[in-house]
Amino acid sequence: MPIDKIFKDDASEEKGERARMASFIGAMAVADLVKSTLGPKGMDKILQSTGRGHSVTVTNDGATILKSLHIDNPAAKVLVDISKVQDDEVGDGTTSVVVLAGELLREAEKLVTSKIHPMTIIAGYRMAAECARDALLKRVIDNKENAEKFRSDLMKIAMTTLCSKILSQDKEHFAEMAVDAVFRLKGSTNLEAIQIIKKPGGSLRDSFLDEGFILDKKIGIGQPKRIENAKILVANTAMDTDKVKIYGARVRVDSMAKVAQIEGAEKEKMKDKVNKILAHGINCFVNRQLIYNFPEELFADAGVLAIEHADFEGIERLGLVTGGEIASTFDNPESVKLGHCKLIEEIMIGEDKLIHFSGVEMGQACSIVLRGASHHVLDEAERSLHDALCVLSQTVNDSRVLLGGGWPEMVMAKEVDELARKTAGKKSHAIEAFSRALVAIPTTIADNAGLDSAELVAQLRAEHHNEGCNAGIDVISGAVGDMEERGIYEAFKVKQAVLLSATEAAEMILRVDEIITCAPRRREDRM
Amino acid sequence: MALAFDEFGRPFIILREQDQKTRLRGIDAQKANIAAGKAVARILRSSLGPKGMDKMLQGPDGDVTITNDGATILEQMDVDNQIAKLMVELSRSQDYEIGDGTTGVVVMAGALLEQAERQLDRGIHPIRVAEGYEMASRVAVEHLERISQKFEFDNDNYEPLVQTCMTTLSSKIVNRCKRSLAEIAVKAVLAVADLERKDVNLDLIKIEGKVGGNLEDTELIYGILVDKDMSHPQMPKQIEDAHIAILTCPFEPPKPKTKHKVDIDTVEKFETLRKQEQQYFDEMVQKCKDVGATLVICQWGFDDEANHLLMHRNLPAVRWVGGVELELIAIATGGRIVPRFQELTAEKLGKAGMVREKSFGTTKERMLYIEHCANSKAVTIFIRGGNKMMIEETKRSIHDALCVARNLIRNKSIVYGGGAAEIACSLAVDAAADKYPGVEQYAIRAFAEALDSVPMALAENSGLQPIETLSAVKSQQLKENIPFYGIDCNDVGTNDMREQNVFETLIGKQQQILLATQVVKMILKIDDVISNSEY
C-alpha cells in the first residue's frame, strides 16, 4: 500500500535526529563564521555584495556580517535574528551573542549524543542562565551617584568597545568623543541627534566632535557667508511653486495675456511668502524642500542666508540644536519660536564646503566629523562609533557596569559550576555544559589573539577561585591581569542581553524535532 | 476502469479523459486515506504535552516559524493530499471554536483512523465502524460531563483560571514564565469580559509584540498601545488628562467624491482659492481646538501646513492610525469616531488619563501608550522577547491562553488534564461497549483504545514507558473509581492531577472528541478517490 505524498512537490521534511543535526550544524557554522572576529585581536571580514557594482564592505561587526549573508538553514536564521535584535536593543555584543549561542548548541549536541533528552537540557540551561544572571547582579558596580567616576566608567566602556574595532589605534580619542556626544543627549537614547559626517581624506586621528552643529550643505549664491548672532527659522515648506492644494484645481486660460497674469500672481504669491518669512526678523532660513532661484534671489536681496534641501533628519537636528520649531506656515511671526546661534559660517573640510553653526543654545544634538583614508575605513569607523554610542547611551540610563576581558564569563562559569554540583539528576550535566560554553568565550578571545588559550583559561580559573577576584585576560600583554587596574569595563545591560538571548535562541533550536521546508515560491517567469 | 455500454453496444463516457486520472476504490481507497491521515497525525504526535517538541517550518519565502501549536504547524505545512487537507481543516476548526487543543484533536483523529484500519482488516464494514464511533463518542462526551467539576471564581479570586491557563502554556516554549503570562492572560480576559452575559470579545484584547528585552518584560497595559509617534517631532511626548479627537478625515482640503474641476482663469480666482485654502486649514485646527481636544488621532495623513498649525497651536497629533486601532481607541477612551470636522463636539471626545510616547532600544522606534482610559474595556498585551520567532510563538501561546480563559467564563466546567479525562472516557466507553449488540461493539471498543493513545503519546514524549505507565494509571483509576489520575509528565511524583493543578476546559475536550469523530467518519465513508494524475 503506497502512502500518498502528503506534501507538495518540492517540500521536504526532516525528522528527529536528522532535523536536530541539521539545525545544530547550521547554527554552529554561523557561530564559527563570526567567531574569529571576537575580541580585541579579532579579524575583519570582507563582504562583497552580489548587487550591482559588487560593492565591498570591510567589517568586524557581527550584526553587519550576518545581515549580509544569504542563509538557507532555518536554525542559522534564528541566530542571525538574535544578532540583529542585539544590535537594535543594545548596539554591542552582536558577535558574542552568536558565539555563545553556538557554543551552547555545541555542548547540547554532545549531551544529546550521550542520550540526554533535549527537554532536560533546556531545563538545565534555564537554571544555569538564571544562576549566571544572579552571579552578575551580585558583582555589578554602580557609580551613578558619583558623576566623575561615572564618566570615567563610561570612558572605559567606550574604550573597551572600540578596542576590538578599526578605531583601536585612537581609541582614547574616539572614546572621549563618544562620551562627550552621549552626555550632550542628556539621557535621551535618540541617537539620531548625533550626526556623523564622513569625509574621506586626512587620517582617523583628524576626526573631531564639533561643539556646534554642521550641516552638509552649501550656502546660496550671493548670500552672506558669515552671520553673527543668527536668528534661524527652520521650515518645512514648498519654496518652488506653491501648489494649490484644493483637489481638482487646474489652470485654464484662453489667452497669452492671462497666462502672464497668472504667472505674475504666482510670483506675487511667492514674494508674499518670502516677505512673511522675512517678517520674522531672521537672518537665516533653512528649508527642508527645494528653494527655487526666484525666492533665493529675494532672500539674497534681503541679506538672509537661505539653505535649501536639508534632509528631514538634518532639519530635526537643527531644530533640536537651535531650539527653533519647524514651521510650515508663516502668518504669526510673533509666536513662532526662532532658533538662535552665535555664529554661522562656511567651513572647509577636505575639499567640501560645509555650514557650521556654533554657539548654539540647546546643544542636544551634535556632529561628529570622521576623517579617514577611504570610504571603507570611514564606513567601518562609523559602525564602530555607532556601537560605542549605543552602548554608552544605554549605560547612561542603566548605569551598572562590569569588568571586561572574559571576567564576567568566568564569574558566571564559577557560579554555574557550583550550581551543577548541588543539583541532583541529569540536569546537572546540562548545567555543567552551560558553564563550559561560557568559558568558551574567553578561550576564543585568547585564541584569536594568538595566545595559549588552554594555559590562560586554566590560570584564570584558578585565580577566580579566590573570592572577589578581578582577573581577566589582558590580550595586549598576553597574560592574566587585573581588569580593574587595566580599565577594561563592559556595560551590564549588554552582558545580560547576550546571556539571555543566547540562551533563549539555543532553547528554541533545541526544542525542534522536525523541520518542514515548504516548496520555494515560484517566481513568475518573464518568458 | 470498467466501460459501460448502452443497449446498442456503444460505450458511455463516464469520466472525461479517464486515462489521465488515477482512481482508487473500495478498500484500497480507505486504506490510502487512513494512511494519509495517520501520517499527518504522526507529525504532530511528538508535539503533544509539556515535554512535546517544536517544529521548525520554513515558508515558501524562506521565513522561519518555530512553533508547538498544532493549528499553526498544519497551516504552514505545504499539504497536497486531500485527506491531509481534511486534517488541517479539523485542526483549524478546533482553533476557531476553542482555540486550544489543536494538536490533541489531530492526534485523536489519527488514533481513531489507526483503530479503524484494524476493524476493516477484520472485515467490518466501514459504515458500521463509523456508526460505532458515533455511539462511542456520545458515551464519551456524556461521561466527560459527569466527571467534570465546576469552578467558582469572580473578579477577585481568579486563581482557578490562572491554573487552567498555565496548563495550556506549559506545553509551549514560554513555559519559563508561564505563571506571569497566565496571570496576564486572565487579567486581560477579566478586564474585557461581560460576566453577566458570560461572553468575552477577544477583539478587545490587542496583542502587540516588539523584539528586544526578554520575556519577563511582557506586560499588560490597561489601555491601547499604538505603533506610531507624534506627527511633528517637537510635539509634547506626554499628555496628561488627554481629551482625544478621533478623526477619520484627513487634515487636507476636501476631496469630494464626485468628479469635479476647479478652473482658474483669472488672477482673482487664483487669489481667492489661495485664501480659501489657508482658511480651510485654519478652520480645521480651530474646530479641534474649540471643542477642547488636547490630542488628535487621525486615520489619514496631514498636510505639512496643517501639521505645523497643529504644532503651533499646541495640539499634538498622531497620523496614519489603522482602522482597527482607531476603533479600539474609541472603545477604550469612550470617544466617538468622527468622520467630519463639522460633527466634532465636546461629547464625542475620548478621555484618557495619560498618553505618552516611549522609545525602545537604539533605533528610532517609538510607541504611543494610551492609558488610564475612561472605559477600561480594551486592553493590550505587550510582548517582549529575544527574537522575532519567539515573539510570534508567544503571541500564539497567549492567544491560546486567552481562548481557554474565555471558554471558562462561558462554561465553568473543567476536566482534569494529563490524559486523565481520556483514560476515564476510555474506561467508560469500554464498559459501555458490552451493552451494544451487533458489530458496532467492536468499533466501540476500538474507540476506547484510540482514546488511550493520547495519554500514551504524553507518556512517550515525557520519556516514560508508555504501556507500563498507562496500564498503571488505568488500573488506579478503576480501582479507586476516581477520574483524577493522569500521566505524571513533569516527574513530580504524583499521578493526582488535582494536586498537580493540571486542568483543561470541558468544552475544549468535548469538542476535541466530537470533531475528531466527525472527521474520521467522513474519511471512512469515502470509497472512491478520483484525482488527476500527474502527467
pLDDT tens, residue order, chain B (535 aa): 556 777 787 777 666 666 666 777 778 888 888 888 888 888 888 888 888 888 888 888 878 888 888 888 888 887 878 888 888 889 999 988 888 888 889 999 999 999 999 999 988 999 999 999 999 999 999 999 998 888 777 777 788 888 888 888 888 888 778 889 999 999 888 888 877 777 888 888 888 888 877 788 888 888 888 888 887 777 788 888 888 888 888 777 766 667 777 777 777 777 787 778 778 888 888 888 888 888 888 888 777 777 878 887 888 888 888 888 888 888 888 888 888 888 888 888 888 888 888 877 666 678 888 888 877 678 899 998 877 888 888 999 999 899 988 888 888 888 888 889 999 999 999 999 988 888 889 999 999 999 999 899 988 888 888 899 899 999 988 888 888 888 888 777 788 888 888 888 899 999 999 999 999 999 998 888 877 665 4
Identify how many contiguous H helices and E strands chain A contains and give both numbers: 16, 20
Nearest CA distance, A365 vs chain B (angstrom): 14
The answer to whether residue A262 neighbours chain B at the CB level (below 8 Å) is yes
Q: Say whether A124 sits in a helix, a strand or coil.
A: helix
Residues in a beta bridge with B25: B528
Question: Is B54 annotated in the active site?
Answer: no
> Taking Cα atoms as reference points, which of A21, A20, A45 lies closest to residue A32?
A45
C-alpha cell at B376: 477600561
| A517, A7 Cβ separation under 8 angstroms | no
Would you give the DSSP letter of residue B11? B
CB contact under 8 A, B31 and A252: no
Q: What is the pLDDT of residue A93?
A: 85
Q: Which three cell numbers stand for residue B149?
A: 467539576
Q: State the amino acid at position A48 in one-letter form.
A: Q
Give residue A527's pLDDT. 45
Radius of gyration in angstroms for the set of CA atoms belonging to chain A, rounded to a whole number = 29
User: In what helix (H) or strand (E) does residue B40 lie, and over which residues does it extend?
Assistant: helix B26-45
CA distance readout (Å), B508 to A9, B69, B96: 35, 15, 11
Nearest CB to A4 within list B36, B256, B259? B36
In this prediction, residues A256-277 reach a mean pLDDT of 81
Of B255, B311, B312, the CB nearest to A247: B255
Q: Hey, are the CB atoms on A518 and B84 less than 8 Å from each other?
A: no
- Alpha-carbon gap, residue B477 to B423, rounded angstroms: 8
Q: If you average pLDDT over residues A398-422, what whole number do you get?
A: 90
Distance from CA of B458 to the nearest CA of A (A): 14
Nearest to A342 by CA among A357, A321, A364: A357
Nearest beta carbon to residue A258 from set B54, B233, B265: B265
DSSP state of A521: P
Measured between its terminal Cα atoms, the distance across chain A in Å is 41
Q: Do B260 and A248 touch (CB under 8 A)?
A: yes
B400: annotated active-site residue: yes
CB contact under 8 A, B66 and A512: yes
Nearest to B102 by CA among B134, B140, B75, B139: B75
Which residue, A443, A445, A446, A417, is CA-closest to A432?
A: A417
Question: Are B444 and B116 contacting, i.e. CB atoms less than 8 angstroms apart?
Answer: no
Going by pLDDT thresholds of 50, 70 and 90, the confidence category of residue A245 is low
Q: Which helix (H) or strand (E) holds B367?
A: strand B365-373
Distance CA A262, CA B267 (A): 5
Q: A248 falls in which pLDDT band (50, 70, 90)?
A: low
CA distances from A395 to A91, A186, A196, B187, B523 (A): 11, 12, 20, 34, 62
Residue B111 C-alpha, separation from nearest chain A C-alpha, in angstroms:
17
Relative to beta strand B219-221, strand B379-385 is antiparallel
Say yes or no for a CB contact (<8 Å) between B265 and A126.
no
Task: Record the cell numbers describing residue A424, joined without a space.
Answer: 541532583
Calculate helix-pair angle for A16-35, A492-510, nearest 10 degrees: 150
Q: How many CA atoms lie within 13 Å of B199's alpha carbon, on the beta-carbon side?
A: 4
Q: What is the pLDDT of residue B294?
A: 87
Bridge partners, A386 (sequence order): none
Residue B297 is inside which H or E element, if any?
Answer: strand B295-298
C-alpha to C-alpha distance for A458 and B467, rounded to whole angstroms: 49
What are the extents of the domains in chain A?
12-141+403-517, 213-362
Q: Which of B25-35 are b and which e, b meaning 16 or more Cβ less than 10 Å from the residue's Cβ?
A: eeeebbbbbbb
Q: Which of A191, A319, A329 sits opposite B234 (nearest CB)?
A: A319
A68 at B interface, C-beta within 8 A: no
Chain B: residue whose CA lies nearest to A269: B271
Q: What is the DSSP letter of B485?
A: B
Q: Which of B32, B64, B365 sits opposite A74 (nearest CB)?
A: B64
Other C-beta atoms closer than 10 Å to the C-beta of A117 total: 16
pLDDT for the residue B40: 87
The vertex-B64 CA angle with B58 and B70, nearest 5°, equals 75
The shortest C-alpha distance from B95 to chain A (Å) reads 21
A271–chain B Cβ distance below 8 A for any pair: no
> Cα distance from A460 to chain B (closest Cα, Å)?
31
C-alpha cell at B104: 490533541
Question: Is A505's CB within 8 Å of B79's CB?
Answer: no
The ipTM is 0.79
User: For cell 551598572, what's the residue?
Assistant: A400
What are the backbone angles phi and psi of residue B430, rounded to the nearest 5°?
-60, -45
pLDDT category, A439, cuts 50, 70, 90? Answer: very high
Distance from CA of A346 to the nearest CA of B (A): 27
Q: Which amino acid is at A361?
A: E
Among A272, A251, A273, A329, residue whose Cα is nearest residue B269 = A251
User: Could you tell me the pLDDT band of residue A524, with boundaries at 50, 70 and 90?
Assistant: low
DSSP A148: H
* Average pLDDT of chain A, as a whole number: 83
Are A520 and B60 within 8 A, CB to CB?
yes
**What pLDDT shows up at residue B257?**
67
Contact A213, A367 (CB under 8 A): yes
Chain A, 293 to 322: residues with Cβ < 8 Å from chain B are 316, 319
How many helical (H) and strand (E) elements, i.e. helices and strands, does chain B have? 16, 18
Per-residue pLDDT at A465 exceeds 90: no
Q: CA-nearest residue of chain A to B529?
A: A4
Cβ–Cβ gap A189/B39 under 8 Å: no
Name the region of B40 (left: φ>0; alpha: ψ -120 to 50; beta: rest).
Answer: alpha
What is the average per-residue pLDDT within A6-15? 74
B28 neighbourhood in chain A, CB within 8 Å: 1
- Neighbour tally for B227: CB within 10 Å: 13
pLDDT at residue B423, as a whole number: 92
CA atoms of A382 and A198, how far apart (whole Å): 8
Nearest CA in chain A to B67: A512
Q: Is A191 on the interface with B (CB under 8 A)?
A: yes
**Residue A272 sits at the chain B interface (C-beta within 8 Å):** no
Residues of A within 8 A of B281 (CB-CB) are 329
Q: A213-362 maps to which CATH number?
A: 3.50.7.10
Q: Which of A250, A329, A504 sits opposite B264 (nearest CB)?
A: A250
* Whole-angstrom distance, CA of residue B97 vs CA of residue B79: 22
Over 50: is that where the pLDDT of A283 sits? yes
Identify which of A6, A264, A327 has the shortest CB distance to residue B36.
A6
Cα separation, A264 vs A261, whole angstroms: 5
The DSSP bridge partners found for residue A482 are A471
Checking if the pLDDT of A216 tops 80, the result is no
Please indicate if any CB of chain B lies within 8 Å of the CB of A254.
yes
A contact test, residue of B44, B57, B64 with most A CBs within 10 A: B64
Which residues touch B453 (CB under 8 Å, ≥6 apart)? B107, B108, B110, B111, B114
Residues of A in contact with B173 (CB under 8 A): 507-508, 511
Q: How far is CA A35 from CA A28, A32, A100, in A?
A: 10, 5, 10
Q: Does A474 touch chain B (CB under 8 A)?
A: no
Judging contacts by C-beta atoms under 8 Å, the chain B residues touching residue A394 are: 362
Cβ neighbourhood burial of B211 (10 Å; 0-12, 13-18, 19+): buried
Interface touch A325/B312, C-beta < 8 Å = yes
Distance from CA of A160 to the nearest CA of B (A): 19
Contact residues on chain B for A244, CB-CB shorter than 8 A? 264, 270, 273-274, 277
Q: DSSP per residue over A52-79, as a string?
A: GGG-EEEE--HHHHHHT-----HHHHHH
Among residues A355, A354, A321, A359, the alpha carbon closest in space to that of A338 is found at A321
Of A75, A236, A250, nearest to B263 by CB-CB distance is A250
What pLDDT, on the 0 to 100 scale, is given for residue A213? 78
CB contact under 8 A, B264 and A251: yes
Of 1.20.120.350, 3.50.50.60, 3.20.20.70, 1.10.560.10, the CATH number of A12-141+403-517 is: 1.10.560.10
> Which residue, among A77, A8, A81, has the nearest Cα to A520 in the 3D structure?
A8
Q: Do B363 and A88 touch (CB under 8 A)?
A: yes
Residues of A in contact with B218 (CB under 8 A): none
d(CA A473, CA A479): 6
How confident is the model at residue A2, as a pLDDT?
Answer: 46
Q: Please confirm, yes or no, whether B69 is among the known catalytic residues.
A: yes
Q: Environment class of residue A246 by beta-carbon count within 10 Å: exposed (0-12), middle (13-18) or buried (19+)?
A: middle
pLDDT given for residue B79 in this prediction: 80
Q: How many C-beta atoms lie closer than 10 Å to residue A140's C-beta? A: 16
**A13 and A514 in contact (C-beta within 8 Å)?**
yes
Give yes or no for a contact between A76 and A32, defined as CB atoms under 8 angstroms apart. no
pLDDT at A1: 39
Residues of chain B positioned with their CB less than 8 A from the CB of A90: 361-362
Q: Average the pLDDT over A123-138 and give the result.
A: 92
Q: How far apart are CA B347 and CA A188, in angstroms?
A: 37
Collapsed DSSP state (helix, strand, coil) of residue A474: strand
Report the gap between the CA of B475 and the closest CA in chain A (Å).
29
Residue in the structure block whose three cell numbers are 512535546: B52
A368: which DSSP letter? E
- H-run or E-run covering A305: strand A305-307
